[in-house]
Structure formats: C-alpha cells, structure tokens
Structure 1
Amino acid sequence: MYPPITYLTDCSDTNARARLTTRMAALFGRSPVVLPLDGPAPVESAGLTLLDVLLSTRLLGEDGHPTVTLVNVAPRDGRWPNGAPFGWFRHGRHTVFTTYDPALLDPVRRHLGVTSVSVTDARTVLAAAEWASIGESDAADLAATQFRSLWYLPLLAKWVLDDRPVPSSPVELPVPERPGGVRVALVDNFGNCKLTCTAADPGVAEGDRVAVDTGRGEARKVRYHERLSDVRAGTAALVTGSSGPGFLELVVSGGSAADELGLRAGDTVDLQG
C-alpha cells in the first residue's frame, strides 16, 4: 500500500488532470489528489504551497502516516533542453518528487532545512530501469516528451518508493537570485495576498502603520495586526497569515486586497514600517 499522494501541477486542465489521475491509479492502485497551479506565478505558488503542505503534517498529536507529494512546474524557458529536471527529497517520513528549481524550493530550504535534492536525468533513469518492461524506443519517447509530468514523473515516484536503484545525483540547493523587495507568493480565494516575509523582516509590531508600495503610484499606508479578527470591516491591513512560519498577508476585511491594491501573484511590494 502506497502513502496518500497529492499532485501539484501547472498542467491542470480537465484533459491533463484526467490523464494524470488515471495513470497514477494504474501505477499506485489509487488516484492522487490533483491540484492546479494555474495562477500567473506558478513557481511562487508552488513553493509556498509545498512549504505549507509539509508544515501541515506537524502537530498531529500522534505519529501520523507518511505522505507523498508531486510538484510539477517546468516551463520551457531555455535553461534546460526539455524543461527543468525532476528529483526528490525526504522530509521526515514524507517524500517529495519535484521539478528541480531553486526558486521553487527556496521556501523549504529556508524554513524546513532541506539542503539538497536527488536530481535525475530521465534518459539515464529509463536506460537503467531493467526492472521495467519498457523498450528502448518507448523509453526514448518518455524522456523526450513535452508531457514528462504524465509519462516520467509518476514512474520516478513509483520506482523510488519501490526502492529501485534509480540513478540520481545529490544537488545542493543554492540561495536563488531574486528581485528586491517582498513578493506576492499567491492570492487566495478571498483575495488575500500571501507575502514571502514575516513581521520580523520589516520589523513591524502590532498597531504599526506600514507603507505598502506596489510600484503603481503612491504607497498605501495600512496598519499591521497579528490577527485578522482585529481588522475593521472594509479596511485594508497587513496581518500575520496562516501560511509558512507566520508569513504576512495583505487583506481587506470583507473584501479583496488583490482587487483593491491591484496585486496578483508574482508582484513585488515594498514594506516600510
């Protein structure tokens, strides 16, 4: 019996999700929970969501069960011949199979102490997979396809979980280059903008007024509150949110901060206490 599987992917239309869930069911005997990374900044969204997924396995009041998470965000941006490679790492009892992208993995590096990823080359893995009944021609197609998140990543996950001798290379996670300022990692369904910093980063305390500069004209001044319940209805504020180790969120009580401030995932904001 395999652990429960969650699959985060930017290949998230109905057709792609149908194929992913069916292929995973055929391999693992159960369909995964497939969740879309369909916003304007999938790398930022994936990084924060992966951090939150792993943090959610804590404080269970018991040992709990192992989990498996697959993460696919692999744009063809010219940095890799066929998109970024896939690899895996373990965090406690939990295993993550993911696109190798230092920006995506930076939140788990900084906040969970994940220092390296076992990175694979699809062609090398498939050539070494003597345990699999996949011919050379089919293996070449699997390695070269543009839909590796369907054809290769599930195989990688199963073979590692089955303790197959999958060739890989440990790669240390570097500190990624990032633009100055705090970023909007994602916008939730309420329009709250989840940021990539805590209150300690800009050095704000309860009740402080903070200038929020979105680069779209004059900075907007809002108060910082530790709890959303302390924000007056209809008022914009900065609060300690539910994500990460207390990441800040820009909110409008009863409204949408994204709409009111003109923000979306991936945007940079400057906070001045």
Structure 2
Amino acid sequence: MYPITYVTDCFDGNARARLSTRIGALFGQSPTVVAADGPDPESFAALTLLDCLQSLELLGEDGHPTITLLNIAPRDGVWPNGVPFCFFWHGKHLVASTFNARVLSLVRRELGIDHVYVTDIREAVTAAGFGADDIEKIAGTQFRSLWYLPLLAKWVADGRVVPATETAVPELLDEEPTVTVVDNFGNCKLDQRLDLVAGTTLPVAQRNDDGSTTIVDVTCYPHLTAVPRNAPGIVPGSSGTGFTELVIRGGSAAETFGLQPGDALLERAAEKVA
C-alpha cells in the first residue's frame, strides 16, 4: 500500500469524508487530506507539493513509494468543466494533479519537472471500459476530484496504460518574492530563496490598517535563533531549498506586517498596494 496525501481546495467536512471513503475503497487505506485554504490556495499548493516531494529525500534511507494527489481547479471558463488533470513521477513517487501552471511552478523550477502527462477525462474513462452512463457521470460531474482523480492515480499506480499527452509545464516569468504560506507561528514563507548576507537589511512593505503602506528595513540573520526576541528578521526558512522567511521571534510577522498568502513582500510591492 502507498502512503497517500491529498492536497485540495475541496476540504469541508462533507468533502473530506467522501474523498477519504472513496480513496480508502480504491487503495485499501484513506489519505491524509490537507486543506489548501486561505486567500491564495495556488501558492499554498505549490509550496506544499514541493515540500512533500523534497521530504522524500531520506538521506540514505530506502523509503516507500508514495502517492500525492493535488486538486486546485477554479472554474475559470478556459477549459470545459474545469482544468484537466495530469500525472508525473518523481523517482518512484507518483503525483496526480490538476494541470495548473502556478501549482506546478515550484517543482518545475526546483526539481526540473518540466513535462507532465495530461489526460482527457472522457478519453481516459472510455479507455478503461466504463459504460456510457458512467462516462457521462464522471466527465460531467462538478466533483471531478472525487470521481476521476483517485481513479487516475489508481490506474497509473497499478501500471495500467492511461491515454495521456506529454505536455510542457509553462514556465512562469520571475515574479516578486511572494508570501505563499503563513505557518502557525505567523512566519511568512516566501516562494523563493533570496541570496542575502547576514547583517544587511531588506525593505519590506508593511500593510497598515488604514490602507497605507510603510517601508520597514528588516535585518537579515543566519537563522531564527539569531533574531532578537520580539524583533522582525529575514532568515533562511525550512521550506523549499532554503526559501526565505519573514519572521518575528516570539511574535507573528503576518499580523505585524499585515501580510497574507499572495502578497508581495518587498518595497517594490508598495506601488501595487498603495
């Protein structure tokens, strides 16, 4: 049996119960369901996917194969009934996901995963031998991440041939350092590693309650414990390949600076929020 993690923006109690039960029936074990919530679920999912795959580097230990499912599928009108689903392998580990360039951007940049296999639901379900009624149900459902994505993961994990098109993951333009995750301590995890020297400062855009922006020069430190207590600091964080974090030792950087996932961090961001 494969350890299974499911990162999804469908995470209410009803959805969790249905996802867990269906995956449990297909695989013989239920998944760990992770809520992609907050104001920017795409950036949360991107960093979480990267962190999950990097956590599989067990430094000399021979780990078990895993399956990671990921669903971030806004109905934006670009695709009929939502963005398609894809799959790829990272070593012996399987990922089945919505084909979302932003969600896949960090594994593309950091792990070199620049191509995935994109599927068409109707084509895949037809090839699997489903009857006409079931094909229409699965292809037309509102809850494709329940009815189709677990099936796709099961078929690929079992070595079945699934009709798919090898497709390049779009390379996104370099963007401003952006808050992707605010952890339970209020630390603001960024989506990139800034090459900073301890003792230098970085101009951070603080959002104020009245809608204005104040630029605060925040000192860079080599690690969290070097930051003075109750003071802000910029440090190498625990996510990604040492991605940078804005922290307040003993406090919440997110609350103090008025930041949330999706916000740009630096002084250049002031013009965007002014």
- Give TM-score scaled by structure 2 length: 0.93
2:271 aligned residue? none
Report the CA distance between 1:198 and its aligned residue.
1.1
2:198 aligned residue? 206
CA RMSD of aligned residues (A): 1.4
Distance 1:58 1:37 in 2: 23
Distance 1:96 1:226 in 2: 34
The 8 Å contact of residues 182 and 271 in structure 1, kept in 2 or not, is answered as: no
Question: Once the two structures are superposed, what CA deviation does each residue of 1:12-41 show, in whole Å capped at 9, x if it has no partner?
Answer: 011000000000011111111111111111
Question: Once the two structures are superposed, what CA deviation does each residue of 1:113-165 show, in whole Å capped at 9, x if it has no partner?
Answer: 101010001011111112xxx32112111111110010000001111111111
Q: 1:51-70 counterparts in 2 under 5 A?
A: 51-70=50-69
How many residues are paired up?
264
The 8 Å contact of residues 214 and 268 in structure 1, kept in 2 or not, is answered as: no
1:252 aligned residue? 248
Identity rate of aligned residues, in percent? 51
SS of aligned partner of 1:212: strand
Distance 2:172 2:38 in 1: 21
1:127 aligned residue? 126
The 8 Å contact of residues 234 and 246 in structure 2, kept in 1 or not, is answered as: yes
Distance 1:196 1:181 in 2: 9
Uncovered stretches (5+) of structure 1, i.e. residues with no partner: none
Distance 2:158 2:58 in 1: 28
1:40 aligned residue? 39
2:78 aligned residue? 79
1:263 paired with 2:255, answer no
Aligned letter for 1:51? L
Distance 2:53 2:92 in 1: 10
Distance 2:250 2:90 in 1: 37
The 8 Å contact of residues 84 and 120 in structure 2, kept in 1 or not, is answered as: yes
2:233 aligned residue? 237
2:145 aligned residue? 149
Aligned letter for 2:77? G
Q: 1:56-205 counterparts in 2 under 5 A?
A: 56-130=55-129, 134-177=130-173, 180-200=175-195, 204-205=196-197
Aligned letter for 1:10? D
Distance 2:213 2:126 in 1: 56
2:223 aligned residue? 227
The 8 Å contact of residues 8 and 72 in structure 2, kept in 1 or not, is answered as: yes
The 8 Å contact of residues 205 and 257 in structure 2, kept in 1 or not, is answered as: no
Report the CA distance between 1:214 and its aligned residue.
4.9
- Consecutive aligned runs of 4 or more in structure 1 exceeding 6 Å deviation: none
SS of aligned partner of 1:140: helix
Distance 1:271 1:153 in 2: 41
Question: Once the two structures are superposed, what CA deviation does each residue of 1:192-234 show, in whole Å capped at 9, x if it has no partner?
Answer: 110112122xxx2011111112564221111111200111111
Uncovered stretches (5+) of structure 2, i.e. residues with no partner: 269-274
SS of aligned partner of 1:22: helix
Report the CA distance between 1:271 and its aligned residue.
5.6
The 8 Å contact of residues 215 and 267 in structure 2, kept in 1 or not, is answered as: no
SS of aligned partner of 2:16: helix
Aligned letter for 2:182? V
